[in-house]
Structure 1
Amino acid sequence: MSAPTSPADLYRHSLRLLLDKDISAWVALWAEDGLMEFPFAPEGWPRRLEGKEAIADYMRHYPDHIDLHDFPDLRIHRTTDPQTIVAEMRGTGRLVESGAPLDMTYIAVVNVRDGHITSYRDYWNPLAVQEPGTDFTGSSR
């Protein structure tokens, strides 16, 4: 089955893949020249990932460190650009290493072209899941 192509449907599909811990399928939703940005990243964390390969490297171990259970309260807003959406949501689950609960609010600005994510600005607070010496994927900094 091919992925949905409307920005809202593609985004919902991407969230399902994260919940299923299917990172390779999630990365496959990205354009080769995709750009992922973290405007609130603290010092020493990546603020910008350029290209599908860099995004894949960053996300590869995500399920080993964050166990997502749900994205309640999802609201997707259309913009004047039909290929751009703004998503508001909560992510709930747990941090794998410590077992601590995760309940975080996110806002994302997502652009889609030809059925692939071309840019994703993730406005979340990485400090809410920070454990000493790790980034949000659990990789050593």
Structure 2
Amino acid sequence: MPESTSPADLYRHSLRLLLDKDIPAWVGLWAEHGVMEFPFAPPGLPQRLEGRQSIAAHMRDHPDHIDLHDFPDLRIHQTTDPGTIVVEMRGVGRWVATGGPFDMTYIAVVTVEDGRFTSYRDYWNPLAVQESGTDFTGSSAR
């Protein structure tokens, strides 16, 4: 993506890469020193990942856990900072281990500098994972 890409366009592109299960390309959208945070992560899952390498390691097995099919209800809100957006969305698909449905609502606060993600705070509901019956202690539930 060119450096002039808006944060909203970069975010939409990142969702397409997740649907395509192209995790290396998704990780490539990150700044080298980007930070990804999960403020509501339950014990056993990281609350903060620092640097592209750490994010890559965390996301590497994502498609082995969740088979994403769509991100309906996507709403991207601009903020007073042109590099920061607030995103509301749902991720739907299936849990690979159980074949059961995956349906998660998210709010994310995302900052982009020079065409790359530098900060991503992912607010998701860990109770939905517990209610799914999935023992998810591996990579990312997002």
Task: Give TM-score scaled by structure 2 length.
Answer: 0.91
Equivalence map 1:67-78=2 (5 Å): 67-78=67-78
**1:98 equivalent in alignment to 2:101:** no
Could you give the per-residue CA deviations for residues 49-100 of structure 1, whole angstroms, max 9, x where no partner exists?
0000000000000001100000000000000000000000010000001001
Give the paired residue count: 137
* 8 Å CA contact 1:126, 1:136 repeated in 2: no
* 1:106 partner amino acid: Y
Structural RMSD (CA): 1.5
Measure, in 2, the Cα distance between the counterparts of 1:77 and 1:106: 13
Structure 1: state its 5+ residue gaps.
none
Structure 2: state its 5+ residue gaps.
none
Could you give the per-residue CA deviations for residues 101-132 of structure 1, whole angstroms, max 9, x where no partner exists?
01111000000000000000000013322433
Measure, in 2, the Cα distance between the counterparts of 1:84 and 1:64: 30
Equivalence map 1:1-141=2 (5 Å): 2=1, 5-130=5-130, 131-132=134-135, 134-135=137-138, 137=140
Could you give the per-residue CA deviations for residues 28-60 of structure 1, whole angstroms, max 9, x where no partner exists?
000000000000011221000000000000000
Identity of aligned residues (%): 73
* 1:18 partner amino acid: L
Give secondary structure in 1 for the equivalent of 2:13.
helix
Task: Give TM-score scaled by structure 1 length.
Answer: 0.92
Measure, in 1, the Cα distance between the counterparts of 2:38 and 2:25: 21
Q: Which runs of 4+ in 1 moved over 4 A?
A: none
